Chains A and B, each alone.
Chain A
Amino acid sequence: MICERALEILNSILAATDIICSYEEISELANFNLISYFTSKKPSISLKYDLKGQKNQFIRLNTEIRDSYRTLMSMEADLKNFRLNYKLKKEINLLKVIIKSKEEKAKRLKDQILLLTIEKETYKRAVKVNGKKVVLTPLGNTLINEIQVRRRFYSRELSDLIDVIRRLDEEFGKIINQIGTIMRTSKFSPIWALYLINTNMLNLTHIMNDITMSEYSYNKAQMKMMRLSFYLMSHPEITIPRNLGSANMLDSEFKNRYEKYAPIQQLNEMFINAGISTFKIQKAISLLSRLFSVWVSKDNQNEQDLNEYLNNLGIFVEFKGDLPIIGKNSSLFEHLNQEIDEEMLYVFITLAYSTNLDAYNYFYNLFKEVLEGSKFFSSIGSLFPWDPEETWMILLRAQSNILKAQSAKFIPELIEYALLMVLNPNILAIENDITQEQLIKWKSLIIPTIHLSIYSYLEEDLETYIKRRPLAYIIAPAYYHHSMLHYHAVG
């Protein structure tokens, strides 16, 4: 069955509208646990009676508990005056046992009532298909949204989509486990673990950790780590440095080989001419230029990509409020016309890779309640090579996996962490057939750019956020002892 037909049937069941369909179609939906057969007979009058009776029994039981508890309070007050009254002590203990037993009974009864209520309601909602009554399962309910947002899948087999979703869950689970494993022995912030996973450079874990520990300033360590990752990504033939000395030598050697890419001067001038200060993002610009330099040196064709990127960047930097592709009522238009702050500079750097500026507005609408980084998050959301609705559905899936693993503590962190997970090239390959060329560009340019932007801007910003509201320091301090970028609670 193709996805479009599955959507039609599932929507009918959701709306409790009978629908004609084949035995095979229904069997397929049932096999995927999207619907279940409702085999119970029509709820008897006795069920309704039972429900009422059990509710009354539950309320009675609670009244008994309350009365017993009041008696207990009064007996305990008496005991304070007659401490040696063993008979009273015995009675108190007995009453406590009775109360506990009634409490357990009440809890069982409440659960039973809920099950009966659900059974009664389910019967009402069951839809007749081929003479059988079926109901939508929670999975079926979720799948309606999953199909709706993926128009690309409408003509594909339902089994394909279900397989994609299963593989997405598996991949998210794998990433979360990998982060947990890395962070058990590493001192850097867990977003670095995600970076190493996303760029397939897990063999750098050890040396990255050594660099983190060796530098007094974590910022300086991160610059070194970032540069090392650029060089080694481009030169897989080089042996991974085993100690700091070798890492430093490699850094010096490649620093000379890859000068900052020349157009970076143009880039700085572009900002200056537009009257925008880049003072706060100088370190990021410096790293970006190094990244571009490595990228251009790999292939002559890459220079064209970079020119395209710089042209796009120019559009935002020199924005005069007259670009037809940016609607005047959109959030992006509004943000481009406001004073350009540090966050917007990172938005520019990210959006210059985007091919779907409307997606920015879609995500801003979803993220605007997020206190820190809403614009920046929206720009990352606009990068994915499919509809923004689809990205949002995958992000929700990533968030759900994070929460299941109890790996995030804060809402901004949850979004940030989910976005970074969705950037993983394996996720991209599962969700959509993208070319090897696109994947290489994604891994070599987009992932490093987002990573350096996040730790340069967002981590510092989130640190301020957490300082104002450091919820977890008190309750779950164990998560925070690893690094100065303590708010990342992963693994």
Chain B
Amino acid sequence: MIDSLDYSLYETEPESRNINPNYKSLEKWVTAYLGPATAEFHNISDKKYAALRDENRNAIIPHLNKEFDGKLFYLSVKGCGAQEDMFFGGKLTADKLKAACRDPSYFHLLKNIKSNSGFIMGESWMGESPYGAQGYINGFDELNFSSIGNLDSINGAHLCPAIGLVQLPKNIEKVAKKFFWCRAYDNHFYQVIRLVPSNIRLYFESTQVIANPKSIFSLFEINSVEKAESFELNFIKSGIALLTLYARSAKIEGKQISGIIYKDVWFDKDCVVAPDGIIHFADIEGFIWKNSSQEEYDKTIKEEWQKLVFEFLYALIKIDSYRHTLNERNLEWKIQREELALLIHHALNKDIFTYAENRNNNLLIIIEGDSLPSVEIPLIEMVN
């Protein structure tokens, strides 16, 4: 497998590190990892890891993996250097890096770079992070949100937990700050060290559709109706858990209820699906705390639900249809939805926060929580 990996990361000593207390056993993995271009610029070549690129600034090291509750997680580094030119598009090249370099005294060192990909730069990305790395606020947010969970879950809502946050070495940061096109990020540079169960994103309604269940089921070797049903049950349970994250993370503080909501993050591109069907939210830097009064609580829960439910249902119907195809049943939608409603009952029967109920021919999801008002949301209407 090492031979077929397409990327390399180079370990180096970070300026500082913060560990998620839930993952102290993985402390030795919490260090700085540099993409090839940054490593070559600084002549760092020992402690090399074979890796997989993941999106623009991340990479996964498959060799560093650990099983939790029977599920395998892989080390993923968020912020190990960018691949793309932020303004002019295309892969970063020596010329493009030179064009973005604001200090001519570094020009000669650019000759050390052979691969050009994975370069940490100083351009400010939405004011939140340096390009190719992670910013101070986002980084600590990810660590804090991961720390409140029990391993990879906040009361049943699964996420890709950050096991640590490292500040990049001063010399790396100093050089990176001289590489920008327009505006430089002015805080320290960080990397989030996290765990992922896979790198399969949902990608619905995108030109990059990997969501074809045929492909995913084949990939996960789901070749029997039983396996498909188990996958689907996990998909439903974990999907509804993420849709109700606000309730699952809610804390009552006086007359206020404080819980986590999603900001500019979505199911289609910000989640990964594990081989067992469990959806894990990957980009948890988009989590924020929101306070509601007891009266506003119902509204917040429903708003959060509506934000993401289409993407969940879209995927669910695809998966459900493919399960029937595997069973060589060509069901009409009106029958399929009846059975799906039953499956949803089944999927939620061991969830503490939600359950399904049939009322007036509608399938409702009831969302509960300790001392929290109960909220009802219809999921499939006019179902017998």
- Among the stretches A28-36, A55-63, A86-94, the one at the interface with B is A55-63
- Among the stretches A111-119, A143-151, A168-176, A290-298, the one at the interface with B is A111-119
CB contacts (< 8 Å) of B330 on chain A: these are 138, 141
Whether A59 and B345, one on each chain, are in contact in the complex, defined by CB atoms closer than 8 angstroms, is yes
Whether A117 and B335, one on each chain, are in contact in the complex, defined by CB atoms closer than 8 angstroms, is yes
CB contacts (< 8 Å) of A472 on chain B: these are 219
Instruction: Specify the chain B residue showing the minimal Cβ separation from A464.
Output: B6
Whether A473 and B1, one on each chain, are in contact in the complex, defined by CB atoms closer than 8 angstroms, is yes
Kindly supply a per-residue 1/0 record for chain B positions 191-222, scoring 1 wherever the CB is within 8 Å of any chain A CB and 0 otherwise: 00000001110000001111010110011110
- For chain B, residues 303 to 329, give those with C-beta under 8 angstroms from any C-beta of chain A: 328-329
B131 within 8 A of A: no
A80 within 8 A of B: no
Whether A117 and B339, one on each chain, are in contact in the complex, defined by CB atoms closer than 8 angstroms, is yes
Kindly supply a per-residue 1/0 record for chain A positions 463-478, scoring 1 wherever the CB is within 8 Å of any chain B CB and 0 otherwise: 0000111111111110
B111 within 8 A of A: no
A480 within 8 A of B: yes
Give Cα A312 to B212, complex, Å. Answer: 38
Whether B219 and A409, one on each chain, are in contact in the complex, defined by CB atoms closer than 8 angstroms, is yes
A274 within 8 A of B: no
Give Cα A406 to B6, complex, Å. Answer: 25
CB contacts (< 8 Å) of B246 on chain A: these are none
Question: Which of A65, A371, A481 interacts with B1 by CB under 8 Å?
Answer: A481
Give Cα A468 to B223, complex, Å. Answer: 26
- For chain A, residues 65 to 99, give those with C-beta under 8 angstroms from any C-beta of chain B: 65-66, 69-70, 73
Question: Which of A69, A410, A467 interacts with B350 by CB under 8 Å?
Answer: A69
Question: Which of B62, B328, B349, B352 interacts with A65 by CB under 8 Å?
Answer: B349
Give Cα A258 to B345, complex, Å. Answer: 71
Whether B200 and A55, one on each chain, are in contact in the complex, defined by CB atoms closer than 8 angstroms, is no
CB contacts (< 8 Å) of B5 on chain A: these are 473
Question: Which of B74, B221, B351 interacts with A406 by CB under 8 Å?
Answer: B221
CB contacts (< 8 Å) of B339 on chain A: these are 110, 113-114, 117
Instruction: Specify the chain A residue showing the minimal Cβ separation from B275.
Output: A475
Question: Which of B4, B198, B210 interacts with A475 by CB under 8 Å?
Answer: B198
B148 within 8 A of A: no
CB contacts (< 8 Å) of B343 on chain A: these are 110
Instruction: Specify the chain B residue showing the minimal Cβ separation from A52.
Output: B384
Whether A469 and B335, one on each chain, are in contact in the complex, defined by CB atoms closer than 8 angstroms, is no
Give Cα A339 to B358, complex, Å. Answer: 58
The count of residues in chain B whose C-beta lies closer than 8 Å to any C-beta of chain A is: 49
Give Cα A141 to B335, complex, Å. Answer: 18
Whether A106 and B62, one on each chain, are in contact in the complex, defined by CB atoms closer than 8 angstroms, is no
- For chain B, residues 353 to 374, give those with C-beta under 8 angstroms from any C-beta of chain A: 355-358
Contact of A471 with B219 at beta-carbon distance under 8 Å, contacts A477-B62, A480-B4 already known: yes
Question: Which of A110, A408, A481 interacts with B346 by CB under 8 Å?
Answer: A110
Give Cα A468 to B198, complex, Å. Answer: 14
CB contacts (< 8 Å) of A52 on chain B: these are 384
CB contacts (< 8 Å) of B351 on chain A: these are 66
Kindly supply a per-residue 1/0 record for chain B positions 127-169, scoring 1 wherever the CB is within 8 Å of any chain A CB and 0 otherwise: 0000000000000000000000000000000000000000000
Whether B219 and A470, one on each chain, are in contact in the complex, defined by CB atoms closer than 8 angstroms, is no
Whether A409 and B215, one on each chain, are in contact in the complex, defined by CB atoms closer than 8 angstroms, is yes
Instruction: Specify the chain B residue showing the minimal Cβ separation from A371.
Output: B208
A107 within 8 A of B: yes
Whether A474 and B198, one on each chain, are in contact in the complex, defined by CB atoms closer than 8 angstroms, is yes
Question: Which of B208, B223, B335, B384 interacts with A55 by CB under 8 Å?
Answer: B384
Shortest Cβ distance from A463 into chain B, in angstroms? 8
B53 within 8 A of A: yes
Whether A403 and B218, one on each chain, are in contact in the complex, defined by CB atoms closer than 8 angstroms, is yes
Shortest Cβ distance from A144 into chain B, in angstroms? 12
A157 within 8 A of B: no
A411 within 8 A of B: yes
CB contacts (< 8 Å) of A138 on chain B: these are 328-330
Instruction: Specify the chain B residue showing the minimal Cβ separation from A54.
Output: B342
Give Cα A121 to B4, complex, Å. Answer: 51
Give Cα A59 to B361, complex, Å. Answer: 13
Question: Which of A62, A69, A406, A414 interacts with B223 by CB under 8 Å?
Answer: A406
Whether B62 and A409, one on each chain, are in contact in the complex, defined by CB atoms closer than 8 angstroms, is no
CB contacts (< 8 Å) of A409 on chain B: these are 215, 218-219
Whether A473 and B338, one on each chain, are in contact in the complex, defined by CB atoms closer than 8 angstroms, is no
Contact of A414 with B215 at beta-carbon distance under 8 Å, contacts A468-B53, A486-B4 already known: yes
CB contacts (< 8 Å) of A237 on chain B: these are none
B264 within 8 A of A: no
Give Cα A371 to B209, complex, Å. Answer: 9
Give Cα A59 to B341, complex, Å. Answer: 10
CB contacts (< 8 Å) of A480 on chain B: these are 1, 4
A433 within 8 A of B: no
Whether A471 and B352, one on each chain, are in contact in the complex, defined by CB atoms closer than 8 angstroms, is no
Give Cα A427 to B220, complex, Å. Answer: 30
Question: Which of A58, A73, A121, A369 interacts with B207 by CB under 8 Å?
Answer: A369
Whether A408 and B218, one on each chain, are in contact in the complex, defined by CB atoms closer than 8 angstroms, is yes
Kindly supply a per-residue 1/0 record for chain B positions 39-60, scoring 1 wherever the CB is within 8 Å of any chain A CB and 0 otherwise: 0000000000000110000001
Give Cα A62 to B338, complex, Å. Answer: 16
Whether A473 and B4, one on each chain, are in contact in the complex, defined by CB atoms closer than 8 angstroms, is yes
Kindly supply a per-residue 1/0 record for chain B positions 156-193, scoring 1 wherever the CB is within 8 Å of any chain A CB and 0 otherwise: 00000000000000000000000000000000000000
Question: Which of B199, B209, B335, B342 interacts with A470 by CB under 8 Å?
Answer: B199
Instruction: Specify the chain A residue showing the minimal Cβ separation from B200.
Output: A471
Whether A469 and B342, one on each chain, are in contact in the complex, defined by CB atoms closer than 8 angstroms, is no
CB contacts (< 8 Å) of A477 on chain B: these are 1, 4, 62
Instruction: Specify the chain B residue showing the minimal Cβ separation from A102.
Output: B349
Query: Chain A CB within 10 Å — which of B4, B212, B223, B335 has the most?
Result: B4
Contact of A474 with B350 at beta-carbon distance under 8 Å, contacts A59-B358, A117-B335, A138-B330 already known: no
Give Cα A218 to B381, complex, Å. Answer: 58
Whether B332 and A121, one on each chain, are in contact in the complex, defined by CB atoms closer than 8 angstroms, is yes
B67 within 8 A of A: no
CB contacts (< 8 Å) of B95 on chain A: these are none
Give Cα A486 to B351, complex, Å. Answer: 41
B253 within 8 A of A: no
- For chain A, residues 436 to 485, give those with C-beta under 8 angstroms from any C-beta of chain B: 467-477, 480-481, 484
Whether A55 and B342, one on each chain, are in contact in the complex, defined by CB atoms closer than 8 angstroms, is yes
Give Cα A66 to B5, complex, Å. Answer: 45
Shortest Cβ distance from B84 into chain A, in angstroms? 11
Instruction: Specify the chain B residue showing the minimal Cβ separation from A472.
Output: B219
CB contacts (< 8 Å) of A65 on chain B: these are 349-350
Whether B214 and A403, one on each chain, are in contact in the complex, defined by CB atoms closer than 8 angstroms, is yes
CB contacts (< 8 Å) of A118 on chain B: these are 329, 331, 335
Whether B60 and A474, one on each chain, are in contact in the complex, defined by CB atoms closer than 8 angstroms, is yes
CB contacts (< 8 Å) of B210 on chain A: these are 411, 469, 471
Q: List 8 A-B contacts (CB under 8 A).
A: A58-B345, A62-B345, A69-B350, A70-B352, A117-B335, A118-B335, A138-B328, A473-B4
- Spell out B's residues near A (CB within 8 Å): 1, 3-7, 52-53, 60, 62, 74, 198-200, 207-210, 212, 214-215, 218-221, 223, 275, 328-332, 335, 338-339, 342-343, 345-346, 348-352, 355-358, 384
Q: Beyond the given A58-B345, A110-B339, please list 18 additional residue pairs across the A-B interface where CB-CB is below 8 A.
A: A62-B346, A121-B332, A138-B330, A371-B208, A406-B218, A406-B223, A410-B215, A411-B210, A414-B214, A467-B6, A471-B219, A473-B5, A475-B198, A475-B200, A475-B220, A477-B1, A477-B4, A481-B3
